[in-house]
Structure 1
Amino acid sequence: MIRLEGVTRRYQSRAGERVALDSVDLHVERGQIFGVVGRSGAGKSTLIRTINRLETPDGGKVFVGDQEITALNPAQLRTARRKIGMIFQHFNLLASKTIEDNVAFPLRLEGRPAAEVKTRTTELLARLGLAEHAKKYPHQLSGGQKQRVGIARALACGPDVLLCDEATSALDPETTEDILGLLEQLNRELGLTIVMITHQMEVVRRVCDRVAVLKDGRIVEQGDTVDVFLRPQHPVTQAMLAESDDGFDDASVPANARVARLVFQGTSTYEPELSRVARTVGVDYSILSGRIARIRGVPCGQLVVAFTDGDADAALKQLAERGVGVETVGGR
């Protein structure tokens, strides 16, 4: 649905040239929720804004569907953008317009008949739980309600693609969960392809099918969310995940212990694999940290374990044979 080929974007400043995107290649399949994560300044917002050409690349090509967005003239681009909705971190609503008028705004810009505008606006307000707020103004709504208005406005012209630029960063955790659930529902019911730019690893863990990690304008890692989260390869990914997870204190590691990270996936997440192997081999262990969660609906668990007395090598070998991911992270 979305394809970037060698996309480069540079900016000039008094300090010299800054490369925001450096030969980026990216493929997003139709109907996916695709996450792009990275530190501040990694180029995330520039990347998402090249998809609807709010930013025009200095090099490379961008395709949405069967159209090369980078080859369109202004009139063609306006038409193409009707199929690419976008929502923002700070909502970008028109303060002097009612909620109803904010949602209707893109339809009126297109010159749609008044009856069609009214019908479509009423339908969207009802769908997003905003019908009772139609005559209110943005300042009268909560952050979550404002973001729902932003989503309704982005859906007004019936897009195939929805771009989300840090769409939950300004929201509290409970409201974030509500908005993510709504985006999942829209993805499922409307077949929307969604691209989410975020620095919140929990957002990616919760809703994204695939993820790309951006650093200094380059994609340093990408893949299925489950694989990237459970088996991160690049130091940037590992560091961002470590910050979002409960780590363990090196000082808590028993002397002469063998420390390993164990990764469980699917139904084995809830099985007592570790205790079974420990009894079979005859090894003592301490759990230093752990987490059980769902990554895009798949049960997953990670434990950092210190093996002390007994044959740690034999225990780790048996765990691996039983389908548990094993990575030695320290100790003897």
Structure 2
Amino acid sequence: MIEFEQVRKIYPKAGGAALDGVSLRVAQGEVFGVIGQSGAGKSTLIRLINGLEKPTDGRVVLDGADVGALPPAGLRGLRRRIGMIFQHFNLLSSKTVAQNVAFPLKLAGTPQAEIDRRVAELLARVGLADHAAKYPAQLSGGQKQRVGIARALATNPSVLLCDEATSALDPETTDQILALLADLNRELGLTIVLITHEMEVIRRICHRVAVLERGQVVETGEVADVFLHPKNAVTRRMLADAGLEDDAIPADGSALRLTFRGASTYEPILGRIARETGVDYSILSGRIDRIRDEPYGQLTVALIGGDVAEARRRLEAAGVQVEAAR
């Protein structure tokens, strides 16, 4: 659906490249996360997708169209197929909830009867049917973001861009907005590109992720693979900062990391194999959680005594991924 081909974006006055040789693909119907610290190039990347910026080198292709090469009329048509929601909502304070949602439809010259029908449909979908006549100042942060989502969906886009859409929200409201986005992806087949600096947001909703650092993609892949087996130091540091990666384990190489996925997460595999092989074990750290809808468990353990080599072989035969803890 979206492809970056060796994209560079240089802002001469900034003294460097905001993006430097970025190549990645976003499949139709997936939720693709882009994560990085401030200054990594995330906002530049998302502005290249909707044509607010043009690449210095390389191409950004959306559904077969070279975004940077489109004439003004073609770009306007493309943008009607792209919805966008923002960190700070960007609602019109002088207009009601219904008028905010109707705004892009009015710009497109949609007949009033169709606008009324579409606005009612969208407000019902985001759970704000009873708030149509209210103004933004009368809404909570989560309600404002729901208005922003409804407005972004007004023109039936095929792509939804989310620029730090949950950063201004409390944890409970963030959960609600992420659940709504997941429903929209599943029910409407929307392709969603989600820009964030929060690893927890990526874990909850994304299928795949790209990690940006200083304008370059340092790691990309399925979210479960990147989270459970990060290859780049930047990714490991971000996971550790979010409490999702061990950052205090023995440095003598004696510790092992065991990764359980799916149904095996809840099975007593380690205890059973320890009894069978005479191995004692000490759990140094661990967690059980979910990545999207898939349960996983990760334990960092020290195996002591007995037949450690046989215990490791049996763990791997049972589908447990065994690796040296970093």
TM-score by length of 1: 0.94
Letter paired with 1:154: A
* Cα distance in 2, alignment partners of residues 39 and 316 from structure 1: 37
Partner residue of 1:279? Answer: 275
Letter paired with 1:47: L
SS at match of 1:77: helix
Partner residue of 2:140? Answer: 142
* Cα distance in 1, alignment partners of residues 123 and 117 from structure 2: 10
Q: After TM superposition, give the deviation of residue 243 of structure 1 in Å.
A: 2.0
Partner residue of 1:12? Answer: 12
Gaps of 5+ in 1: none
Q: After TM superposition, give the deviation of residue 244 of structure 1 in Å.
A: 2.0
Partner residue of 1:263? Answer: 259
Partner residue of 1:2? Answer: 2
1:223-258 per-position Cα deviation (integer Å, ceiling 9, x unaligned): 11111111111111111112223666748x6x9892
Relative to structure 2, which stretch is displaced further, 95-104 or 301-310? 301-310
Partner residue of 2:164? Answer: 166
SS at match of 1:319: helix
Partner residue of 2:24? Answer: 26
Task: Say whether residues 1:61 and 2:63 are aligned partners.
Answer: no
1:57-90 per-position Cα deviation (integer Å, ceiling 9, x unaligned): 1111111112211111112101110000000111
Query: CA separation of 1:240/1:248 partners in 2, compared to 1, >3 Å: closer, same or farther?
Result: closer
Gaps of 5+ in 2: none
CA contact (8 A) 2:253 2:324 kept: no
1:82-140 per-position Cα deviation (integer Å, ceiling 9, x unaligned): 00000011111111111111101111111111111111111111111111111111111
* Cα distance in 2, alignment partners of residues 21 and 170 from structure 1: 25
1:310 to 302, 306, 309: 306
TM-score by length of 2: 0.95
Query: CA separation of 1:128/1:25 partners in 2, compared to 1, >3 Å: closer, same or farther?
Result: same
Q: After TM superposition, give the deviation of residue 315 of structure 1 in Å.
A: 2.3
* Cα distance in 1, alignment partners of residues 46 and 238 from structure 2: 20
1:1-43 per-position Cα deviation (integer Å, ceiling 9, x unaligned): 1111111111122xx5221101111111110011111111111
CA contact (8 A) 1:229 1:241 kept: yes
Q: After TM superposition, give the deviation of residue 153 of structure 1 in Å.
A: 0.5
* Cα distance in 1, alignment partners of residues 162 and 246 from structure 2: 33
What CA RMSD, in Å, does the superposition of the two structures yield over aligned residues? Answer: 1.8
* Cα distance in 1, alignment partners of residues 222 and 247 from structure 2: 29
Q: After TM superposition, give the deviation of residue 321 of structure 1 in Å.
A: 2.4
- Matched residues, percent identical? 61
* Cα distance in 1, alignment partners of residues 308 and 168 from structure 2: 46
CA contact (8 A) 1:7 1:25 kept: yes
Letter paired with 1:223: G
How do 1:198-217 residues align onto structure 2 when only pairs under 5 Å count? Answer: 198-217=196-215
CA contact (8 A) 2:240 2:247 kept: no
CA contact (8 A) 1:107 1:156 kept: yes
Partner residue of 1:47? Answer: 45
* Cα distance in 1, alignment partners of residues 252 and 57 from structure 2: 55
1:165-191 per-position Cα deviation (integer Å, ceiling 9, x unaligned): 111111111111101110111111111
CA contact (8 A) 1:37 1:213 kept: yes
Partner residue of 1:153? Answer: 151
* Cα distance in 2, alignment partners of residues 187 and 329 from structure 1: 36
Query: CA separation of 1:250/1:159 partners in 2, compared to 1, >3 Å: closer, same or farther?
Result: closer
SS at match of 1:146: helix
SS at match of 1:274: helix
Q: After TM superposition, give the deviation of residue 309 of structure 1 in Å.
A: 3.5
CA contact (8 A) 1:256 1:308 kept: no
Aligned residues: 326
* Cα distance in 1, alignment partners of residues 269 and 316 from structure 2: 10
* Cα distance in 2, alignment partners of residues 29 and 180 from structure 1: 20
Partner residue of 1:323? Answer: 319
